[in-house]
Amino acid sequence: MKLLLLRHAEAVPARVAGSDDHRWLTTSGRRCARAVGAALRAEGLTLTHAYSSPLVRAIQTSELIVAALGFTDAVVVHTPLATGPTAAVLEPLTSHLDDDVIAFIGHEPIASTVAGQLAGVRFPGYPTGTACLFTGDPEAGLEFAWAIDPRTGARVDSPRALSLY
């Protein structure tokens, strides 16, 4: 199984949107999501399933990512991607096959918590637009494979190489 864990792209501040729940992507955020989607497409990913937080900025990011990857099925709204806890975030993995490629689009601090748990290393943060791929058997544990750094669009092969610091 492959799990693509993404944090939504840059969004307007809550004071502009009226609440955190209603924040939408900035022009820069949309550009970033398209660029990350193109980088993921260049890596040859073909999604079989996609899940998004119900918040506006995550839904908008998911639409841009799945379009870039040619995914035409429905994106499933998965509330734990906005609220946690980690076990609930990962629960959908139990119903998928070994050869599935699944995207989760969510938020901080959930993204870095889930990524850190899966990779077995501390993720001090998960910048907006970051995409990390994890592979393996969900019951035995998924391992970090690579990531797309949203600031450079480059593939990085270590979580420590991300622009997190």
Q: What is the CATH number of the domain that holds 26?
A: 3.40.50.1240
Sheet holding 155-156, edge to edge: 76-77, 49-52, 101-106, 2-7, 131-137, 141-148, 155-156
**Cβ proximity of 36 and 152 under 8 Å:** no
pLDDT above 90 coverage of the chain, percent? 80
State which residues form the domain around 57: 2-161
**What's the domain count of the chain?**
1
pLDDT in tens, 31-84: 999 999 999 999 999 999 999 999 999 999 999 999 999 999 999 999 999 999
Taking alpha carbons only, the member of 61, 45, 138, 139 closest to residue 104 is: 61
pLDDT in tens, 104-126: 999 999 999 999 888 887 777 78
Which amino acid, 27? T
